[in-house]
Amino acid sequence: MAANKDYWAARALQREAEAYARGAELSARLYDAYQTALRDLRRQINDFYVRYARENRLTYAEAVKALNRAEAREWKASLGEWVERINAETDQEIKARLKAELDALSYRSRMDRLEAMCGQMEMTLDELCARCMREMSEEFGEAYRESYYKKSFDIQQRAGRIWEVAGIDVGMVEHVMSYPWSGANFSDRLWQNKTALLFSLRQDLTQGLIKGTGIGPLSKSLSEQMGQSYKAAERLVRTELNHFHNEADRAAYQAAGIEWYEFMATLDSRTCAVCGALDGKRFKVAEAQTGVNYPPMHPNDRCTTVEWDPEEQADWAAAGEKMPERMTYEEWYQRQVAEHGEGYVERERKRVYNIASDKEQYQRLKEKLGENAPATFEAFQNIKYSSGDDYAQFKAYARDIGNGGLTPLADFKLYQDTAAQIDAELVGVITSDGTEIVAKSDHFVSRVIGSVEERRSGVEISSVREALTNPERRDSRRGKKGVSVRYFGKEAIVTVNPDTGTIIQANPRHSRKEMEQ
């Protein structure tokens, strides 16, 4: 067991630096987004001048003239495009934000030329904001995941023992994402930043028009203001990454049963007095409070913490099995995820990133399917991000329950069990005319189970097999989807596509008559 305190302190600082490095990459992507937006804004102002200015000067009176009919039509068309863009947004949280911004925009009663141009600028800034929000959510979620596992690895390596780490809980990440630890969460800050920027751009433009400023100075001031806004976004990225990194550490401490941590200020020139005073101080994990005794303490903070064991002999240090001395983080991580199979990390990331939209989807499912929806949100996400084809199966199940093609008495488990049974008992069967069954349609699974609404009972798998291998007769039809062959067995009529070897559907024979009796 490596007990050298300085070594582990250095490791904690290195982990902070790794999280910090993510910020630099993210900021570079945001810079591109800002550049694109700046180009658009510049073009909008230019067009505005070209349209309404006389001899390169645009008077205020000219700018606040009400839109004429053609201009109003044009404005409405651009609004229409923007509505389409919002409707196509797949991230529910971003969509909700954009909708709220659009509502505010369309509430403005009187629309003059200046107002219309500001509206255009606002749409550009909303788009910029949406992009920043998406990039940040992704990066922060990923930083959280990585920090959590790396801290867990460090704790175990320090103890010289290996144990299984609890997976990241959906609720934990959601909590960190939405908790306004500094008075607002990062997405609120992002949109506040946008509102402030829009306000100052407007003010600038209006004053410029009143004073008769030409387009040159206006364009310059636009660049400056966008630059300031980008700096604010960059600061937000740095501070939030430090926040997510430290919150992941806190979760790792809790998962490992670590009771104490030591505050570590990054002792470079930028360290502030507050952080300097906290450096080396020890606190209970249970009493950690962000901004009070747990980093970040202020914007741009780079402080972090390291686990501390008052007796160097705590329970967590004796748990699990002995860790090989030279095990790397990669090897350890692979071992941790090995049990969950291939693609686990990718799915886990999506699971975290899509919490907000998945919750809405789950809500809609519950409204549509009632008792047939998965019992809990977590159960739903388990299906959605399972390693197999559970989700594809679930979608087929939900569709058939929704349209009455499957009895609501059938739960998803029965549906899955039936599908598995069909695969086991019918795939590989050779029909009487030599077609090998290789697959089944989703619809066929529902047909085997049956539907109450369609007053159709199910069919036994053995009856299907009997119809396929030993039919009383069969016929062949050519439809829109190609050829299909029907096998008339004693108790079932089964339809197969002979070109693909797929069972399309099955019906019980004489079922209608029996059920109506």
Give contact residues for Zn ion (rule: CB under 5 A): 275, 297, 301, 303
Least distance between Zn ion and beta carbon 268 (Å):
10
Least distance between Zn ion and beta carbon 54 (Å):
56
SS3 sequence, 408-468? CCCCHHHHHHHHHHHHHHHCCCECCCCCECCEECHHHHHHHHEECCCCEECCCHHHHHHHH
CB 316 within 8 A of CB 258: yes
Q: In angstroms, rounded to a whole number, what is the distance separating the alpha carbons of residues 137 and 132? A: 9
Nearer CB in complex with Zn ion: 19/398: 19
CA atoms within 13 A on the CB side of 213: 16
In 3D space, the residue among 382, 296, 294 whose CA is nearest the CA of residue 344 turns out to be: 382
Nearer CB in complex with Zn ion: 17/66: 17
Q: In angstroms, rounded to a whole number, what is the distance separating the alpha carbons of residues 439 and 417? A: 16
Nearer CB in complex with Zn ion: 157/246: 246
In 3D space, the residue among 151, 157, 172 whose CA is nearest the CA of residue 304 turns out to be: 151
Least distance between Zn ion and beta carbon 253 (Å):
19
Nearer CB in complex with Zn ion: 4/289: 289
Q: Which residue's CB atom is positioned nearest to Zn ion?
A: 275
Which secondary structure element, helix H or strand E, spans residue 306, and what is its range?
Answer: strand 304-308
Nearer CB in complex with Zn ion: 19/297: 297
Nearer CB in complex with Zn ion: 210/267: 267
Nearer CB in complex with Zn ion: 300/462: 300
Largest separation between any pair of C-alpha atoms in the chain? 94
Least distance between Zn ion and beta carbon 266 (Å):
7
Least distance between Zn ion and beta carbon 19 (Å):
14
In 3D space, the residue among 6, 11, 25, 284 whose CA is nearest the CA of residue 143 turns out to be: 25
CA atoms within 13 A on the CB side of 398: 20
Least distance between Zn ion and beta carbon 265 (Å):
5
Least distance between Zn ion and beta carbon 295 (Å):
6
Q: What is the DSSP letter of 293?
A: T
